[in-house]
Amino acid sequence: DTAVSQTPKYLVTQMGNDKSIKCEQNLGHDTMYWYKQDSKKFLKIMFSYNNKELIINETVPNRFSPKSPDKAHLNLHINSLELGDSAVYFCASSQDGVVTDTQYFGPGTRLTVL
Amino acid sequence: AQSVTQLGSHVSVSEGALVLLRCNYSSSVPPYLFWYVQYPNQGLQLLLKYTSAATLVKGINGFEAEFKKSETSFHLTKPSAHMSDAAEYFCAVSEGGFGNEKLTFGTGTRLTIIP
């Protein structure tokens, strides 16, 4: 049983389109995250949610809108896709969102914008 | 803000040799430090973490890391490399309060194992 799952695994789309990535965790965790990994493998946090409430928004363009319908789900919607949005997007979760928590990562969604 | 620096974007070792991946941190408060591993086309998996208990931390797959405050380092080691250790390794520092923890990652080190 996958702990943190993401769909789709691959996403290829044209510039200007709108797309969504879904994330689900079955660990019973309270906190979920979105990270972006660029072509040089650099990982940067985008958002975090704790109990469906937005906690961290790391100066991400407002074309990116996370939504958490419940504690187990955190989706990422991206409007007006740009070439620079091409990356691998990882969802993660942790128990309480405290500094000593382990974060559990999903398998990633590779987004390619043409 | 806290940060980590990984020295060496690529490290190659022979199978059976010692693995040493370097990580230095910058923090004005006692840091909480992590090592994660990413196998090709997969997500990240925790190897080990330092949370201010023992300075020598043992992790999975035979890896360990030692927190050295005097050197602001948290280097990852494994006595004998296996082919299966080939992967990307990330050092990270955690900061924040309850419910708003965030990980700041280093730039990663790609480990190649030579048969």
Strand partners of residue A57: A47
The pLDDT score that the predictor gives to residue A53 is 87
**pLDDT at residue A9 greater than cutoff 80:** yes
Confirm or reject contact between B104 and chain A (CB < 8 A).
yes
pLDDT tens-digit profile of B22-33? 999 998 777 899
Distance CA B90, CA B59 (A): 14
Helix (H) or strand (E) holding B56: strand B56-58
B73, B20 Cβ separation under 8 angstroms = no
Which chain A residues are Cβ-neighbours of B38 within 8 angstroms? Answer: 41
The pLDDT score that the predictor gives to residue B27 is 83
Q: Is A74 helix (H, G, I), strand (E, B) or coil?
A: strand
Distance CA A17, CA A70 (A): 26
Count Cα neighbours of A1 within 13 Å in the Cβ-side half-sphere: 5
The burial of A77, by beta-carbon neighbours within 10 Å (0-12 exposed, 13-18 middle, 19 or more buried), is given as: middle
Tokens of A55: 């906690």
User: Which among A55, A103, A108 has CB closest to B99?
Assistant: A55
pLDDT averaged over chain A? 93
> In the structure, what pLDDT confidence band is assigned to residue A99 with cuts at 50, 70 and 90?
confident
How are beta strands B87-95 and B32-38 bridged, if at all? antiparallel
Best residue in A24, A32, A43 for a mutation probing chain B (most B CBs within 10 Å):
A43
Share of chain B above pLDDT 70, in %: 97
Query: Would the CB atoms of A45 and B108 count as touching at under 8 Å?
Result: no
The pLDDT score that the predictor gives to residue A59 is 77
pLDDT tens-digit profile of B53-95? 789 999 999 999 999 999 999 999 999 999 999 999 999 998 8
The pLDDT score that the predictor gives to residue B28 is 76
| Residue B79: Cβ within 10 Å count | 11
> In the structure, what pLDDT confidence band is assigned to residue A103 with cuts at 50, 70 and 90?
very high
DSSP-derived letter for residue A62 is T
CB pairs under 8 A between A and B: 81
Confirm or reject contact between A31 and chain B (CB < 8 A).
yes
Q: List Cα–Cα distances, B85 to B19, B80, B97, B111, in angstroms.
A: 9, 10, 33, 7
pLDDT tens-digit profile of A20-57? 999 999 999 999 999 999 999 899 999 999 888 888 88
* Residue ranges of A 88-107 with Cβ closer than 8 A to chain B: 90, 92, 94, 96-107
